[in-house]
């Protein structure tokens, strides 16, 4: 091993420090970085020369990049970069949670889970950080699967779960909206945010990771609809139990950003979330997206 790394947290992830993003890794280092990503699913990389060009170059070590379909959130200069900007009120409307105003809050989800072809992964780089808030949460569905009882593992075998695209949080049955009040700019239909509609997708509830072969509890609260062919009350009860399990603190990590941090995650294995920032706080994150080269679910 020539890439020095340590544990990112007690629960999950790996940390690589003193990395120089300007230096092209050799073949052995590239292989190690890929293996670390596959093993841990979540890498925080810190070091020198974290800038847009180097983020794009570094991201390509892990696969082909995908440009975001929405041109208005692409960086003007670098189409491979997507800008997550808390000051863009079109993409970050104000909403109320627990009686307070928040911008950019996102529940636990996996990108493109509502299609059959989630992206392989993504890298976020902290460009400008607010003085408080603005963390990113990551949840490991492989560890969550491993911790299930043998009885539950047997019960889930062969089940298929349905995900559906939705932009109105009130219509996501497994997302807790009891303390949520939609703000005036909250979208109600896909076209409100420039998205097409998508047909529902069906996945194995327990997904086998195509590369690591680890079993993944493929449950995240956003976009989750139900279990195929199961009585609705039984499906609702089982999914409620699984959502509570997969979001337990021991499978999750909340990242407090430092400027220049890059985080790479495996979107086939990890869900992510964001508590958001207070209105007026500036948070700018650049994101690259690694294309999913395999179809994991199917349209229904
Ligand atoms: Fe996301």
The superfamily (CATH) of domain 6-292 is Clavaminate synthase-like (3.60.130.10)
What pLDDT is stored for residue 157 in this prediction?
Answer: 97
Helix spans in the chain (H):
27-40, 52-59, 141-146, 150-156, 232-246
Neighbours of ion ligand 1 (CB under 5 A): 111
Give the Å distance between the CA of 292 and the centre of ligand 1: 14
Give the Å distance between the CA of 122 and the centre of ligand 1: 9
Give the Å distance between the CA of 221 and the centre of ligand 1: 13
Give the Å distance between the CA of 29 and the centre of ligand 1: 28
Whole-number Å distance between alpha carbons of 260 and 49: 8
Give the Å distance between the CA of 107 and the centre of ligand 1: 9
Give the Å distance between the CA of 110 and the centre of ligand 1: 6
Q: Pseudo-torsion of CA 219, 221, 223, 228, nearest 10°?
A: 50
Whole-number Å distance between alpha carbons of 233 and 231: 6
What pLDDT is stored for residue 196 in this prediction?
Answer: 85
Return the sign of the alpha-carbon dihedral for residues 198, 200, 201, 206: positive
Give the Å distance between the CA of 151 and the centre of ligand 1: 32
Residue 183 gets the label, from left (phi > 0), alpha (psi -120 to 50) or beta, of: beta
With vertex at residue 156, the alpha carbon angle to CA 155 and CA 161, rounded to the nearest 5 degrees, is 140
Give the Å distance between the CA of 111 and the centre of ligand 1: 5
Give the Å distance between the CA of 59 and the centre of ligand 1: 17
Give the Å distance between the CA of 272 and the centre of ligand 1: 6
Helices (H) and strands (E) in the chain, counts: 5, 20
Maximum Cα–Cα distance across the chain: 56
The three-state secondary structure class of 171 is helix
What pLDDT is stored for residue 193 in this prediction?
Answer: 84
Q: Which of 235, 233, 231, 253 is nearest to 243 (CA)?
A: 235
What pLDDT is stored for residue 92 in this prediction?
Answer: 78
* pLDDT per residue as tens, the chain (300 positions): 689 999 999 989 999 999 999 999 999 999 999 999 999 999 999 999 999 999 999 999 999 999 876 666 777 789 899 999 998 877 778 999 999 999 999 999 999 999 999 999 999 999 999 999 999 999 999 999 999 999 999 999 999 999 999 999 999 999 999 999 999 889 999 988 888 889 999 999 999 999 999 999 999 999 999 999 999 999 999 999 999 999 999 999 999 999 999 999 999 999 999 999 999 999 999 999 999 999 999 999
Whole-number Å distance between alpha carbons of 266 and 199: 24
Q: Which of 70, 51, 69 is nearest to 59 (CA)?
A: 51
Whole-number Å distance between alpha carbons of 136 and 298: 29
- What is the chain's length? 300
**pLDDT, tens digit (0-9, with 9 covering 90-100), for 195-231:** 888 999 999 999 999 999 999 999 999 999 999 999 9
Give the Å distance between the CA of 2 and the centre of ligand 1: 31
Give the Å distance between the CA of 200 and the centre of ligand 1: 18
Give the Å distance between the CA of 223 and the centre of ligand 1: 12
- Alpha-carbon separation of residue 150 from 82, 125, 155, 279, 299 (angstroms): 41, 39, 9, 46, 30
Give the Å distance between the CA of 231 and the centre of ligand 1: 30
The three-state secondary structure class of 193 is helix
Give the Å distance between the CA of 241 and the centre of ligand 1: 23
Give the Å distance between the CA of 250 and the centre of ligand 1: 21
What pLDDT is stored for residue 243 in this prediction?
Answer: 98
Give the Å distance between the CA of 108 and the centre of ligand 1: 8
């Amino acid at each position: 091993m020539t890439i020095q790394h340590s544990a990112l947290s007690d629960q999950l992830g790996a940390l690589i420090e003193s990395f120089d993003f300007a230096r092209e890794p050799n073949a052995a280092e590239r292989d190690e970085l890929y293996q670390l990503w596959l093993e841990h699913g979540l890498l925080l990389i810190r070091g020198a020369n974290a800038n847009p060009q180097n983020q794009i170059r570094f991201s390509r070590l892990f696969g082909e990049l995908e440009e975001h379909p929405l041109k208005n959130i692409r960086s003007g200069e670098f189409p491979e970069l997507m800008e997550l900007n808390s000051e863009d009120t079109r993409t970050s409307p104000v909403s109320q949670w627990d009686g307070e105003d928040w911008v950019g809050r996102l529940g636990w989800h996996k990108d493109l889970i509502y299609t059959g072809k989630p992206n392989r992964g993504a890298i976020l780089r902290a460009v400008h950080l607010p003085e408080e808030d603005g963390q990113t949460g990551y949840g490991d569905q492989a560890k969550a699967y491993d911790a299930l009882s043998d009885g539950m593992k047997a019960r889930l075998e062969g089940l298929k779960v349905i995900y559906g695209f939705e932009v109105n949080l009130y219509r996501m049955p497994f997302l807790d909206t009891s303390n949520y009040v939609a703000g005036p700019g909250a979208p109600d239909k896909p076209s409100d945010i420039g998205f097409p509609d998508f047909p529902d997708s069906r996945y194995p509830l327990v997904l086998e990771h195509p590369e690591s072969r680890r079993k993944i509890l493929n449950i995240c609260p956003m976009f989750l609809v139900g279990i195929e062919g199961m009585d609705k009350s039984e499906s609702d009860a089982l999914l409620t139990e699984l959502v509570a399990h997969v979001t337990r603190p021991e499978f999750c990590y909340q990242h407090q950003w430092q400027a220049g941090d890059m985080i790479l995650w495996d979107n086939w294995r990890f869900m992510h979330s964001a508590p958001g920032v207070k209105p007026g706080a500036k948070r700018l994150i650049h994101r690259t997206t690694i294309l999913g080269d395999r179809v994991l679910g199917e349209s229904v």
